Amino acid sequence: MTRRSFLSTLTALVAAPAAAPAAATGPTQIAPLELSDAEWRARLTPEQYAVLRREGTERPFTSPLNAEKRTGTYHCAGCDLALFTSAMKFDSGTGWPSFFTMLPGAIKTRTDFKLIIPRTEYHCARCGGHHGHVFNDGPAPTGKRYCNNGVALNFLPEEA
């Protein structure tokens, strides 16, 4: 290898990584968290595991978060990703904590055919943990109702 070709190779190697990240990452890019089933069982309470990893549904009117009115953020109990803020919460009267929108990129949806009528299931964008279903009978401005299992959330009150 001549000195000239060595230098041009070196230049190419140095230049390449700088060009790559612009296309690969954006502001809402969230790196996935993947754990084994045993790791999830160790990390979560049995109630959290049943909802987050097995798409269970908690009994209505059982979550203390139904009555939570403080300012703060609601985080995924599986991976601590912030999903909702208190400003997005409303009292739906259904017995589950309900939100009319979510933080950008925090959740992903898919169609669930478990019941006769298809529902839109949603889950945490980072750990894939099941949180609830979204319905089209929510309040303005979105008209959406994210019906969330309270056990799948941790509430962090804002520091006063």
Binding-site member from 78, 97, 138, 150 for Zn ion (CB under 5 A): 78
- Whether the bond into 104 is cis, omega within 30 of 0: no
- 114-133 binders of Zn ion (CB under 5 A): 124, 126-127, 129
Q: Between 147 and 152, whose beta carbon lies closer to Zn ion?
A: 152
Task: Read off the tokens for 37.
Answer: 């089933």
Output 34 or 159, the one with its CB closest to Zn ion.
Answer: 34
**Spatial contact of 48 and 40, defined as CB atoms under 8 Å apart:** no
Q: Indicate the residue among 108 and 114 with the shorter CB distance to Zn ion.
A: 108
Residues that are catalytic? 147
Q: With H, G, I as helix, E, B as strand and everything else as coil, classify residue 157.
A: strand
How far is Cα 86 from Cα 71, in angstroms, rounded to an integer?
5
In angstroms, rounded to a whole number, what is the distance separating the alpha carbons of residues 147 and 2? 66
Q: How many residues bind Zn ion, per CB under 5 A?
A: 8
Binding site residues, Zn ion, CB under 5 A: 76, 78-79, 81, 124, 126-127, 129
